[in-house]
Amino acid sequence: MEKLKIEKSSKTSNSVTRTIRISGATFDKISELADKNEVSFNCVINQIIEFGLSNLENDQN
């Protein structure tokens, strides 16, 4: 499987505000990725979600 590569990307104007709950350990990992790649926490979250959706097994659509 292809690995996720965090990229710097421009903000999109088409967004929805939503509240989610994640574990403290997951929050820390995502914050570290954001800092390391000089992007926002939100940018990392969106890239992780898009990557996951693009790599779902075919029978889960």
Residue range 15-44, pLDDT digits in tens: 899 999 999 999 999 999 999 999 999 999
Provide the pLDDT for residue 9. Answer: 74
Residue 26 is which amino acid? T
C-alpha–C-alpha distance, residues 9 and 59, integer Å: 30
Sequence-ordered alpha helix ranges (H) in 11-40: 24-37
Per-residue pLDDT, 25: 98
What pTM, to 2 d.p., does this model score?
0.80
* Residue 1 reports pLDDT greater than 90: no
Sign, Cα dihedral of 24, 26, 29, 30: negative
